[in-house]
Amino acid sequence: MKKKVGVLVSGRGSNLQALLDACADPSFPAEIALVISNVPGVYALERAANAGVPTLTIPHKGFPSREAFDSEMDKALRAAGIEIVCLAGFMRLLSTGFAEGWRGRMINIHPALLPSFKGLHTHRRAIEAGVKLHGCTVHLVTPELDDGPILVQKAVPVLASDDEDTLAARVLEQEHKAYPEALRLLAEDRVAVEGNRALIRDA
Ligand code: GRF
């Protein structure tokens, strides 16, 4: 049985697209059953619709608190029978309750080699810091922002000629490989967590 995946988005959805493409392979162990956006009209919603995946727009602005918004998402995910949640450019902080409720079953992609450069503007900060390697990380989500056991990382060189945009493009290419890899590991139940570490069975 394929694992049912819910994807949370806020924008263009290129990582969603990478997941949709991976799920189109009949041998992939997961299927995307719901895409939720907190922002109306974003391109990610169109990508989901083009792939025949049900979508839901839940504008966060309509809710009195983060908890109330998260609980609405939680209800929708559970009603759709979702087993794994992927954050794919979802630009909202999560409440502790929501993060705890999906612990071990929710993953995020971050455009940096964690634990370096948590938060925003990672490419600019990597260039400013003068690092020679940068990249992306897929990790299990915990209540702490951009924290949690790491499942997959991919590194790229930082070139002397790079600006924020060229570096972002090089990293994004790797994101589109890393995210389906990580989802596969989780969907195949190959991830065991020990403290801060995710141990991958049969790696
Ligand atoms: C990606 O760089 C991802 O790592 C970050 O937000 C961006 C989303 O891009 N969390 P997209 O919407 O998947 O194209």
pLDDT in tens, 83-131: 999 999 999 999 999 999 999 999 999 999 999 999 999 999 999 999 9
Does the annotation count 110 as an active-site position?
A: yes
Q: Which pLDDT does position 104 carry in this prediction?
A: 98
**pLDDT at 152 exceeding the cut of 90:** yes
Catalytic residue among 60, 110, 121, 123: 110
Judge if 6 and 94 occupy the same domain: yes
Q: Are 169 and 83 in the same domain? A: no
- Residue 27, CA atoms < 13 Å, CB-side half-sphere: 0
Q: Are residues 152 and 97 in the same domain?
A: no
- Looking at the fold, whether 50 and 122 belong to one and the same domain comes out as no
pLDDT, tens digit (0-9, with 9 covering 90-100), for 25-64: 999 999 999 999 999 999 999 999 999 999 999 999 999 9
What torsion, rounded to 10 degrees, do the Cα atoms 77, 172, 177, 197 define? -70
65 and 119 belong to one structural domain: no
Distance from the alpha carbon of residue 18 to the mean position of ligand 1, in angstroms: 11
Q: Rounded to the nearest whole angstrom, what is the distance from the C-alpha of residue 202 to the centroid of ligand 1?
A: 29
pLDDT of residue 84: 99
Q: Is the CB of 110 under 6 A from ligand 1?
A: yes
Return the residue whose CA atom lies nearest to atom 6 of ligand 1.
89
Are 18 and 202 in contact by the 8 Å Cβ rule? The answer is: no
- Per-residue confidence band for 193, with pLDDT thresholds at 50, 70 and 90: very high
Q: Do 41 and 126 belong to one domain?
A: no
What is the model's pLDDT at position 203?
77
Nearest ligand 1 atom, CA 11: 12
CATH of the domain at 54: 3.40.50.170
**Judgement on whether residues 89 and 2 belong to the same structural domain of the protein:** yes
Six-digit token string for 165: 């945009």
Condensed to tens digits (0 to 9), the pLDDT of residues 174-188 reads 999 999 999 999 999
- pLDDT, average across residues 144-164: 98
136 CA to centre of ligand 1 in angstroms? 10
**Number of domains comprising the chain:** 2
Whether 70 and 3 map to the same domain: the answer is yes
Measured in degrees and rounded to the nearest 5, phi and psi for residue 110 equal -125, 135
Return the best residue to mutate from 109, 151, 183 for the ligand 1 pocket (most ligand atoms within 8 A of CB).
Answer: 109
- Domain range for 78: 1-102
Separation of alpha carbons 161 and 121, rounded Å: 18
**For all residues of the chain together, what is the average pLDDT?**
98
Q: Which residues contact 46 (CB under 8 A, 6 or more apart)?
A: none
